[in-house]
Amino acid sequence: MAAILPFSPRFSRSSAVVADETAILANDLHPPVDLAEDLDRFRASIAAYLKPDDVAQVEAAYHFSAEAHRGQYRTSGEPYVSHPLAVAGTLAGWRLDPQALIAALLHDVMEDTAITKAQLTEHFGKTAAELVDGVSKLDRIENQSYEEAQAENFRKMLLAMARDVRVILIKLSDRLHNMRTLDAVRPDKRRRIARETLEIYAPIANRLGLNNLYRELQELAFRHQHPMRYRVLVKAVRQARGNRREVVGKILEAIRHRLPECGIMAEVIGREKHLYGIYRKMREKHLSFSQVLDIYGFRIIVKDIPTCYLALGALHGLFKPVPGKFKDYIAIPKANGYQSLHTTLIGPYGTPVEVQIRTSEMNHVAESGVASHWLYKDEQAMTDLQQTTHKWLQSLLELQSASGDSAEFLEHVKVDLFPGEVYVFTPRGKILALPRGATPVDFAYAVHTDIGNRCVACRINFESMPLRTELKNGDRVEIITALSASPNPSWLSYVVTGKARAQIRHFLKTQQQEESAALGERLLGQALRNFGIQGGDADSQTWERFLREIAPKGKRQVLTEIGLGVRLPAIVARRLAELRDRLEPAAEGETENRQATAILIRGTEGVAVQLAKCCRPIPGDPIVGIIRKGQGLVVHTHDCALLARQRGERNDWVDVDWEADVRGSFEVGLRVVVANQRGVLAKIAAAMAEENSNIVNVSMDDDRGQTTSLYFTLQVANRVHLASILRRVRRIPEVVRIYRIKD
């Protein structure tokens, strides 16, 4: 790599001069006095593990950044270059490679200066430039809200992270330093950034196993989002520390004596629960501070895995364990690769104490996570942690392809950022980790997208169970599939994983588009016949001109938009007719032959055609169709009360009629007023059953007199079928009055 002299973006970009590297190291730019100490510390940290040539490249990037940000200051008043230096310092603590450090030092130059990605590629190589681009925000799109812009930025960043995990490591370090210096920001912006940190960045750090970073981000976000609550808790913990010092000391001393007695050499560390953890426990379990007893805990670090279990036995012999509070994350690691034994013991004076037992390697992974060995070349060389991280990063690409927009993608990612504690087994004995509250549908999509899409039933522990059943630890789950099955919209009300939610929505959206395109074709055909175009479609030349002038998205997209109510068929038809007449004048007398043809309704069109819930039309009823934006064609009875209030919207009305041979069942509402006598409900139900009608729902009102009103929702084939049901029910002596409910 050629050495460069730092150039200023204020001058011509071609004025960058190649110079001897020693000139840079001599530092023509003397760092401000307040940066000198930080810069020396950073140099020492990277010199401890990088080669001299790499150190020189990183220093060149620092000087480049310092010149690019010359004259820029942070809100706190510090020179702006202090920020990228602090970000790079965090990465140096994780011992990341030179390219990541260079990108950290340059991560804001594309956003805040005139420097381009091409210039970064020229000076520091393609890899560093790609990393900087992945971290940089998109330019704000005009008329785009802050939330939409943020969602799009997150989408860009997370997809860049899926290609190279160093992108998110740089971004997390960037967020950490911003949170540490957030006091200089105005209060409303401070709270927004803190909330964003708790919702996105802290969970990502946890998902990558960066435990120390995760905890610090949570603490800082809590302090800035709820400053009063934070101060109250700090004071309460300080007081409790003095009150419980004697108890904690006794427990620590007892553990340090017991382990050597059992031949176990271990490092025992006492620790205090984090403030945000205490606050979250108080909020979720509705506890006061005095009721949160496990403020203190202990960490025991031993040499190997067998010693972990020996230490556990020794501690259970010393203090009684709390039933149900033991978790073995060594045998079944968390989704982020975390491994440890957790147990809660009853110490002196009945004080519960949480103890974590792990090896030195597990402790290293728990503190640094994927950053401790982030770089992987191929799947054979990956550790278990790297494989799980790699799978999660790849799942982001699946979510991206299944999500419709940035906000939806971000919603799915947020769901996946809060991993749970439910571990279930496949029929072959493989363990799957799912979020708490997961259902068999989530399990099916976790196995494979096709299994989820074709899921029809499930067996949990060899028993048939509903698909909405919440899974528990240790459940054995078997999914039953059918080739003709498809996702049910009701699944969205109880699935919890981002993948399941995204794939269900993707399938339904695709299905809706297909059905809407078919409906749009029928609606446009009807409108075209009104303009004298026979056959219900314009010729290819007319369509080609229409798409070139009006809708470059394509004919299918136009038909879908018509079916969804986004475009009016009459307007599209008029434009097509005008273009056709311009190309080929209409024959004399053709306009007199125009006639409207009604759209025929089968009742089984799917989501593109909906039967209105207000009037519940059935075959045989006179009907009217209305185009509703985003819903497609909604069919009402001609005397619907809701329709009467929309007379001013006749431009959206469509001529519709029932097909001659409509098959299927249609719901209808009935009110039956009966005399208050025993067994009358059974008689009416039997009469309806004899007419081959299924009762969907029944309810009743007590009229506080001699009569009672019964309300039925029935499934009928058509008006003739309904009439025969009404005749049979009227013959029952106890029936006073019966009529159909249309509202």
Beta-bridge partners for 302: 359
Residue type for 459, please? R
Closest CA to 339 of 369, 373, 376, 372: 369
**How crowded is residue 111: how many other Cβ atoms within 10 Å of its Cβ?**
13
- 3-state secondary structure at position 665: coil
Strand-pair partners of 479: 458
**Cβ contact 344:352 at 8 Å:** yes
| Total residues found in the chain within this entry | 743
Tally the C-alpha atoms within 13 A of residue 534's C-alpha that lie toward its C-beta. 7
Measured CA to CA, the distance from residue 665 to residue 725 in angstroms comes to 14
CB 415 within 8 A of CB 469: no
CA-only gyration radius of the chain, Å: 34
The token pair that represents 582 in the structure block: 């311009």
Q: What DSSP letter does each residue of 686-711 carry, written as one string?
A: HHHHHTT-EEEEEEEEE-SSSEEEEE
Query: Burial letters for 131-170: b for 16+ Cβ neighbours within 10 Å, e otherwise?
Result: bbbbbbeeeeeeeeeeeebbbbbbbbbbbbbbebbbbbbb
3-state SS class at 45? helix
**Which residues contact residue 601 at a Cβ distance below 8 angstroms, ignoring those fewer than 6 apart?**
609, 623, 625, 635, 656, 657, 658, 659, 662
Local structure of 235: helix, strand or coil: helix
| CB of 86 closer than 8 Å to CB of 175 | no
Percentages of the chain per state (helix, strand, coil), in multiples of 5: 55, 15, 30
Decide: 710 and 650 in contact? Cβ < 8 Å: no
Task: Give exposure, 192-202, as e/b (b: 16+ Cβ within 10 Å).
Answer: ebbebbbebbb
Task: Give me 337's structure tokens.
Answer: 């690769």
| Beta strands at 656-658 and 327-328: parallel, antiparallel or unpaired | unpaired
Query: Using CA atoms, how far apart are residues 600 and 578, in angstroms rounded to an integer?
Result: 27
Burial class of residue 191 (count of CB atoms within 10 Å of its CB; 0-12, 13-18, 19+): middle
Helix (H) or strand (E) holding 317: helix 305-318
Cα(266)–Cα(299) distance, integer angstroms: 10
Give the catalytic positions in this structure.
111-112
The phi and psi torsions of 578 (rounded to 5 degrees) equal -65, -45
The token pair at 686 is 């039997």
